Structure 1
Amino acid sequence: LLFPDPAQRVYVRQELLDANPGRPGAPISIPGVPIETASGGIKAPQYFSPGVAGDHGEPIAEYILVGTYLASNNLSSNAHGNGYADPNIMVPAILEGVQTDGGAFNIREGNHAENLSSIYELHSRLEPSVTVTGDYRDVDVVAAWSPAAPDIDAWIALEGAYGNGFLDRPEHRQQYKLNGFRIWNICKHQLTFFGTGYFGTSKIPGLVPRGLPHLHDTIDPRQKDQTHTALAVLNDLWKLTPTQTLQLGGMFRTYNLALFSNFGDGLIRQSEFRTVTAGNSTYTNNLTRVLSLMMGIDYQRDAPHRLDLDHYESTDPSYYGPFQKIAANNVTLGDTAPYIALNGAFPHDFHYYLGWRRDEIQFDNQDLLTPANSYHKLVGFNSPKATISFLPETHPALPSVAFSFGEAFYTNDPRIGTGAEQGTPISREHSYQLVVSRTIAKTDFRVTLGHVTTEASLARIDPDTGLQQDQGPGRNKFITVAARRYFGWGLLQASVSKADARDLDSGLPTPEAPRLIVDALAAINRLPFRLQARGEFEEVGAKPLGDGFTSVPVREFRGAVLRSFLEHRLDVGINFLIASGYTGQTTELLAADGQISPSEQVVAVRLPSYATMSCTYNFRPRRTP
C-alpha cells in the first residue's frame, strides 16, 4: 500500500557511490538517474530521467522518508526554477538508501510527482566517526555521533566544507550542515524526528559558450549564490491493532535564496524567503489477503515571499551598481488532498491497486509592482491511479507483469511576471506503464515501458527573464532495460534507457530531453590487499536543444577504492571522476567576450575530472563488512 509502483527500485547505500564526494550537489549517485546543474557552485543540481529535460524540477519529486512520512523537498514557485529540490541540505553519511519510482502511480505522492520520484531513506544509527575529504582545491569535514546504548536510535551529523572546485573560476565555496535524528518507542507509538540546518555560499561559474577556453569558465565573475534553510519533521506511527495503523506526520521549513546569474542579457538577481508547513494523516487496515485499505489526507502550504527578480544595469564585471526591479511578488500555494486506496490479491496470482486522490490547490499571487496582476484562485484536480499485476507465485517459470495507469500534476508558477495574462495554474499529465520482470540464472531482469502525455500550458514563467512561455502538449515514450546480479564478492548491474519526447503540435523533439541514458555499476567487496571498490559508468547521449542545435554526449566514470586499517577503525579511500562533456547544455542569445554581436549559441558548464582522498576514523570498533 505504501509503495505500490511495480517499477520501484530500492538501492542500499553501501552499493552506491557519492555523487560528488566533499562537494555540493546530490548526496549519492542513483543508477540510471543522472544529475545536472546549469550553474555549478552550490546551486542545487536536479535529477532527470528518460525524456525529461535536465535542470527542470517541475515533473520530478524528491522526498525524505521520516518514519513512514514522505517529507517533500521540492520548492514550488522557486525563485530559480519552479519545483526545484535542494539535496544539499543532507550530509551524505546519514543516508541508508534511496528508492525511485515512476512518480504518477502512488496516491501518497502529489505535486511534482509526474515522471520520477526519489525517496531518501535515513539511518537509525551512525558510527561515531570523523571523515576528512580533500585535495589541492577543496576540503570537507564530517563528524557523526550516536549514543553508546545500542537500543537508542539517534544520531547527530555535522559537515563543514570549503573549496574552489576544479574549474578556472574559483568558487570560494563554504557550506555548513547540521542533521539530527531520533526515534522514541512509547507504548504503541513510534515517534521519529529529523531536523536539518544548512548554510551555503559560493561564486558560481554559470553558463558559458562551448569551446571558448579564453573565458575561463565564466562570462561574469559577479555570479554567486547564497542559500540557507532549516527543516524539522516529526512522525508518529501508531499501531492501533495488529492489522491497523495510524500515521500522523508534519514538517516546518524555512528557506532563503539569493542567486546572481548572467544568461547573456546582463546580471540578474533571483531571491526569496519562504516558509513551508505540511502535515499528513494516513490510516491503513489490512482486512484480508483480498482487501487492504488506506485512506488519508495531505496538506502543504508553501509561502515564498519577497519573490524578486532584479536586473543590474552595469556591465562592468567588477561592479554591481544600481538595479531595476523586473518582478516582485508574495506567493502562497496551499494544497489539501484527501486520498483513498484499495490493495489486495485475487486467486491465480493476480494483484490489484486502486487509488484516488483529490487535490484542492489555492493560489494567492500578490504582485508588488503591478497590483492589478494580483489574484486569488482555487483549482481542483483528480488523480486516479491503478495497477494490475500478475505475480506468478504458483507458476515460477513465468515472468511478473504489471500494468499501471495514473494521472498527475505539478503547480505552475502563479506569477504573471512581465506578461499580460494569468497562466495555466497546473500542468496535467496521463501516464501508462508496463513492467515485465524475471529472474534468470540468479540475475534479475526488468523491462519498463512508459507513455506519458502532457497538456498544453499557457504562459509558463521563465524565472530568469520574467517572460511568459507557452508550452504545447507533449508526449514522452521510453523503454528501460535493466539487469542486476549479486555475487558473493559484490554486485553488478546495468541499465539502458531510450526515449522519444516530442511536442504534439509541432512534432519536434522536446528541447534538452535526453534520448539515451546508459548506466553500469559494479561493487566489489573482496579485492587483494583487503581493498573494496565501487565503479559506475554513465552516459547521456546527444540530445536536441532546439533551433537545430544539439548537445554533445556526456560521459562520466566515477569510482572509489577503500582500505580499512586498525581493525576497521581507520578507513582510507580514493574517490575519482573521469568526465567528458558539459552539464546544463542549453541555448542562449548572447555575445561573449571576443564575439562581435549577440547570437544564439550552446552554453553549458564544463565537467572537470578530478581525484580526491578521504580518511575516516571510527571511535568505536566497527563490525566487519
Structure 2
Amino acid sequence: MNHILSKRLLSVTLCVCLVSALCWGDSASAHDPDEPELEVPEVAVLGEKPVAASSQQFIPDKEIILQPQGRPAQVLRLIPGFVAVEHSGGAGKADQYFLRGFDADHGTDVGFFLDGMPINLRTNAHGQGYTDLNFIIPETIEGVDVHKGSYLPEYGDFATAGAVNFRTRNMVKEGVIQGAGGEYSTQRYLLMFSPTKDRVRTLFAAEGFYTNGPYLNDNQYYRTNLLGKVTTNLTGRDEVSFKATFLHSKWDGSGEIPFRAVSTGLLDRFGSINPYEGGNTLRTTGNLNYHYDTTTGGQFFANAYGQYYRLDLFTDFTFFLNDPINGDGFAQFDRRAIYGGDLGFKQRIELLGMPIIGTVGFQTRVDDVHTKLGTQTLRTPTGTAIDSDVRSVSYSPFVKTEVQPFSWLRLSGGVRGEFFTFDVSNRCTTCVEQPDGRKGSGIVLPKMSIIVGPWARTEFFVNYGDGFHSNDARSAVAIGASPLARARSYEVGVRSRPWGQAGL
C-alpha cells in the first residue's frame, strides 16, 4: 500500500513540474517585445588586499580624477610623505622627487613602473635614474601601487626609498572629449574612448597640453601624448594585453637664477638670465602582459617591453663665470633603446593547515645608450666633454614566500639577486673625460616582513630589506668604483581602521 502511494505521489509531482515548465515557457514566449528589459545594476564588492607594510598603499582612480591634470607627477602628491616639484624654471624636465628624507633627484632612489615596465633611465645624460612621467595620461590610470621602503623582492634597481607602479585601465565605459584652460595661456585637451568593451577591451587616448607658466621668459611647453591598449582573454583562465604609448614635448626654461640678484632688485624672481635654456624629448613604449591561472591555484605571469627614448637638454648654471665670451651653457644628449621582460610563477598551497604562497621570478633589462655632454651657446653646440656608447644589462632572479601559521600572524620573506654588466665605449679621443671599459657586478638583497593581527581592525608590522640603485655606467667602469650602491631600510608600523574600510 505504501509502495502504491509513493508511486502516485511521484506521478503527481512530475505532473506539477511539467505543467509549471509549460506555463513558464508560455509566459516567456508571450513576452511583449516592446516592453523594456530590466537592467540589473552593477554591484561592486570592494576589498583590500593584505599589505606587507603599514606604509604600503593603493591609490584608486576615484582619487586621481579629482586632482588637477596639468602634470602627471601631481598624482604622486596623493602619497603621504611624497613630494614632486618642478625645478630649473618651468615644466618639461622630469620632476625632482623627495620621499622619506631621500632627495631622489629625478628618480635615483625611487623606482617607477607602468604596468610593471620600468620607467627610470640608467646612465641618463642628465642624471642616473632620470624619470620623466610626462608620457602618462592621468585619466588612463586605474590605480597606483605605492611601496615605501625596499621590502618586496619584486622591485629592484632604484627602489631604495620606495617603488611606485601605475596601473592602466583596460577600457572606459563612456568616451571623453574634454578641453580646459587657465592662467598663463594654459590649455589641455583630452580624447579617450573604448570602441570595444566585451571579449576584446580597447582603450585609446590622446592628450595635448600647452602652458607658458608664470615666467617672464615664456615656458612655451608643448606636450603631445598618445596611448592605445588592447586586452582580451584567449581562454577562460588567462588575460593578455598590449599597450603602446607616445610622447613628444618641447619647452623653454627660465633656469636657475642667483638669489642676490633678486634680493637687490636686479632681477625679477620670475626672470631669466639665459632665455635659451630648455629642451625637447620623445619617448615611445610597447608593453605586452600575460598571465594564466592554473587549475591548482597557481599563476604564470610574463611581461615583455621595448622603448625608444630621446632627450636634448640645454642648461646654464654659471652663466659667464668660466667663459665670459660664449657663456657657460652646456648641452646633454641622450638616445637609447630599452628592452626586457619578466617571467614568473606563483603557487598557493596549504601545508599542515597553513596557507602558503610561493613566488619565483626572473627579470632582465638591456639599455643601449648613446649619451653626450658638451658646451653650447644659444643651443648651438660649441664643444664636447664626454661622448659614449653604453650597454647596460641586468639579470634579476627572485624568490618570495608568504606564510600564515596562525590567524593572527603573517610572515613574508624573500631574496633578490642582481647581476649587472656595464660596457662603455668612448667615442671622443680629444675629450677631457674618456670613460671606457667593461665591468660586472652583483648584489644579494634579503627581505623580511612580520605582520601581527588584526585585533580590533588593527595590525602591527615589522619590516626589513636591502635595496640598491645602480650607478652611471661611465663612472662604474672606473678602477675602484662601486657599480651598485646598497641601501638598508627597516621600519615598525601600525595600521588601524576602527571605523571600517570607509574610515571617518
TM range (shorter): 0.7 to 0.9
> How big is each residue's C-alpha offset from its partner over 1:478-523, in whole Å with a ceiling of 9 and x where there is no partner?
xxxxxxx645xxxxxxxxxxxxxxxxxxxxxxxxxxxxxxxxxxxx
In 2, the alpha carbon distance for the partners of 1:379 and 1:322 equals 35
Q: Equivalent of 1:42, from 92, 108, 115?
A: 92
Shift of 1:284: 0.5
Deviation per CA, 1:1-20, whole angstroms, max 9, x where unpaired? 99744421111122246665
Please identify, of 216-225 and 355-364, the stretch whose mean Cα deviation from structure 2 is larger. Answer: 216-225
Match of 1:109 among 138, 141, 155: 155
Question: Matches of 1:386 and 1:308 in 2, distance apart?
Answer: 41
Cα separation, 2, equivalents of 1:336 and 1:321: 40
- Deviation string 1:216-246 (CA, Å, 9 cap, x unpaired) is 4322101011000100000110112240111
Partner of 1:232: 286
CA separation in 2, counterparts of 1:398 and 1:144? 40
SS at match of 1:48: strand
Are residue 7 (structure 1) and residue 55 (structure 2) matched? yes
- Give, as a single letter, the amino acid of the residue that structure 2 aligns with 1:225: G
Deviation at 1:54, TM superposition (A): 5.1
Alpha-carbon distance change, 2 to 335 in structure 1, aligned in 2, over 3 angstroms: farther
Report if aligned partners of 1:159, 1:176 keep a CA contact under 8 Å in 2.
yes
Q: Is 1:63 paired with 2:113?
A: yes
Per-residue CA deviation, residues 159-211 of structure 1 (Å, 9 max, x unaligned), is: 11222122222012211110111211011321012210110001112222337
- Residues 1:357 and 2:421 aligned together: no
User: Is 1:255–2:309 an aligned residue pair?
Assistant: yes
Is 1:197 aligned with 2:251?
A: no
For residues 108 and 420 of structure 1, the distance between their equivalents in structure 2, rounded to whole angstroms, comes to: 30
**Any idea what SS the aligned residue of 1:77 has?**
coil
What is the Cα deviation at residue 250 of structure 1? 0.6
Task: Give 3-state SS (helix, strand or coil) of 1:366's partner.
Answer: strand
1:86 aligned residue: 132
* From 331, 340, 353, the counterpart of 1:269: 331
Is 1:219 matched with 2:269? Answer: no
**TM-score (ref. length: structure 1):** 0.65
Does 1:299 pair with 2:346? no
Percent of aligned pairs with the same amino acid: 22
1:404 partner SS: strand
Q: What is the CA-CA distance between 1:335 and the residue it aligns to?
A: 0.6
Who is 1:335 aligned against?
394
User: 1:147 offset after TM fit, Å?
Assistant: 2.0
Task: Render the CA deviation track for 1:53-107: whole Å, top value 9, x for unaligned.
Answer: 1534111011112xxxx11111111111110111100111101221211241111
Shift in CA distance, 388/58, structure 1 to aligned 2, threshold 3 Å? same
The residue matched to 1:234 in structure 2 has which SS? strand
Note the 1:399-438 alignment, pairs <5 A.
399-416=458-475, 423-438=481-496
Determine the structure 2 residue equivalent to 1:388. Answer: 450
- What secondary structure sits across from 1:14 in the alignment? helix
Cα distance 1:41–1:379, how it changes in 2: closer, same or farther (>3 A)? same
* Corresponding residue for residue 542 of structure 1: none
Change (3 A) 1:26 1:199: farther
Aligned counterpart, 1:308 = 372
Structure whose residues are more often helix by fraction: 2
> Which of 123, 126, 132 in structure 1 is aligned with 2:179?
132
User: CA–CA distance in 2 between the matches of 1:252 and 1:301?
Assistant: 10
Q: Residue 252 of structure 1 aligns to which amino acid in structure 2?
A: G
RMSD of equivalent CA atoms: 2.4
Partner Cα separation in structure 2 for residue 176 and residue 309 of structure 1 = 27
- Letter aligned with residue 403 of structure 1: V
CA contact (8 A) 1:255 1:275 kept: yes
Given residue 62 of structure 1, which amino acid in structure 2 is its aligned partner? F
Q: Secondary structure at the match of 1:97?
A: strand
Residue pair 1:237, 1:246 contacting (<8 A) in 2 also:
yes
The one-letter amino acid of 1:424's match is S
Answer yes or no: is the 8 Å Cα contact 1:363–1:376 preserved in 2: yes
Change in CA separation of 1:111 and 1:263 when aligned onto 2, cut-off 3 Å: same
Name 1:246's counterpart in structure 2. 300
Q: Please list every run of at least 4 consecutive aligned residues from structure 1 whose deviation after the TM superposition is greater than 6 angstroms.
A: none
Q: 1:321 to 1:93 in 2, by over 3 A?
A: closer
Q: Name the residue aligned to 2:102.
A: 52
Cα distance in 2 between the residues matched to 1:254 and 1:172: 24
Structural mapping, 1:465-484, within 5 Å = none
1:147 aligns with 2:201: no
Segments of 5+ residues of structure 2 without an aligned counterpart are 1-48, 320-327
Distance in 2 of aligned mates of 1:372 and 1:202: 31
**CA offset digits 1:576-616 (Å, max 9, x no partner):** xxxxxxxxxxxxxxxxxxxxxxxxxxxxxxxxxxxxxxxxx
Number of paired residues?
Answer: 432
- In the alignment, the residues of structure 2 paired with residue 299 and residue 373 of structure 1 have an alpha-carbon distance, to the nearest angstrom, of 25
Residue of structure 2 in register with 1:456 after alignment: none
1:7 and 1:28, CA in 2 relative to 1: closer, same or farther beyond 3 A?
closer
What amino acid maps onto 1:130 in structure 2? I
Preserved contact between residue 27 and residue 90 of structure 1 (Cα < 8 Å): no
Deviations 1:304-349 (A, max 9, x none): 21x011112x5xxxx4455121111111111101111111101251
Q: Of Structure 1 and Structure 2, which has the larger fraction of its residues in strand?
A: 1
Instruction: Return the alpha-carbon distance in structure 2 between the equivalents of residues 280 and 143 of structure 1.
Output: 32
The residue aligned with 2:78 is 30
Partner of 1:560: none
Unaligned runs of 5+ in 1: 445-484, 488-625
Q: CA deviation at 1:429?
A: 1.1
Q: Distance in 2 between matches of 1:389 and 1:61?
A: 24
Bigger Rg over Cα: 2
Label 1:58 to 1:18 Cα distance change in 2 as closer, same or farther (>3 A). farther
Q: How does 1:512-591 map to 2 (within 5 A)?
A: none
Counterpart Cα distance in 2 of 1:165 and 1:320:
21
Letter of the structure 2 residue corresponding to residue 104 of structure 1: S
Contact 2:97 2:103 in 1 (8 A): no
- C-alpha distance in structure 2 between counterparts of 1:49 and 1:434, whole Å: 17
Cα distance change on mapping 1:107 and 1:320 into 2, 3 Å: closer
Q: Go from structure 1 to structure 2 and tell me whether the alpha carbon gap of 1:294 and 1:349 turns closer, same or farther (over 3 Å shift).
A: same
Q: Distance in 2 between matches of 1:100 and 1:201?
A: 30
Quote how far apart the aligned CAs of 1:272 are.
0.8
Check conservation: 1:46, 1:84, Cα contact below 8 A. no
